[in-house]
Chain A
Amino acid sequence: EPEVTQTPSHQVTQMGQEVILRCVPISNHLYFYWYRQILGQKVEFLVSFYNNEISEKSEIFDDQFSVERPDGSNFTLKIRSTKLEDSAMYFCASFLPAPYGYTFGSGTRLTVV
């Protein structure tokens, strides 16, 4: 069964540093997403990406965040200058409309120190 692959599984970074989280979505899927889960809390939508541009973003997704799909394969989330409150599990997902659906990656745990 096709998978969404996220790397790294865990990243530790210093506050103020830039970090790039990587995802390889399922190749024939159309929509790509990033979600965030602060420890012990619910999973929250960050951004959706379709046809090489952002189709929707949440209030969380401010100017410090950006997404790219530079080579038609990888889908990246960049945080420009990390803050302590960016510490969370970040999930990538790819999606194909019904009858298929969502496939989530196993997540990247980001720790900002």
Chain B
Amino acid sequence: AQKVTQAQTEISVVEKEDVTLDCVYETRDTTYYLFWYKQPPSGELVFLIRRNSFDEQNEISGRYSWNFQKSTSSFNFTITASQVVDSAVYFCALSEPKDFGNEKLTFGTGTRLTIIP
């Protein structure tokens, strides 16, 4: 069975500091996808990244970067030079493609990030 663990329940940092959100996953499949979503106070789920299990390259998008390490089953997310607008709950998620491409998402419990001005 698939499982996603986000051990950090809440993190607070001062604006402009860097912050890393941890995500550890469990799966028996060799083909899977990892995701990060942002949930601002308004409640919607904002897609940040989707990474397949065969692509271990780190990715950078502006102030965001992701570190995927299969050896430790981790997919960590770093925000550089944090801003108040980054305050939100961040969810890591995992999907395992099934028949005909069905991909149910399993979410972690989320990390509430607060950026202090």
Given contacts A101-B50, A104-B47, A107-B43, contact A41 B109 (CB under 8 A): yes
Q: Which of the residues A42, A48, A55, A109 comes within 8 Å of B109, measured between beta carbons?
A: A42
**Of B19-27, B77-85, B95-103, which stretch is located at the interface?**
B95-103
Contact B105 A35 (CB under 8 A): yes
A102 proximity list for chain B (CB < 8 A): 35, 47, 50, 103, 105
> Contact residues of B with A, CB < 8 Å?
33, 35, 37, 43-45, 47, 50, 52, 91, 93, 97-110
Listed by A's residue number, 29 A-B pairs whose Cβ atoms lie within 8 Å are A30-B100, A31-B101, A31-B102, A33-B104, A35-B105, A41-B109, A42-B91, A42-B108, A43-B91, A43-B105, A45-B105, A45-B106, A48-B104, A55-B99, A55-B102, A56-B98, A56-B104, A91-B45, A95-B103, A98-B33, A98-B52, A101-B47, A102-B35, A102-B50, A103-B47, A104-B45, A106-B43, A107-B43, A107-B44
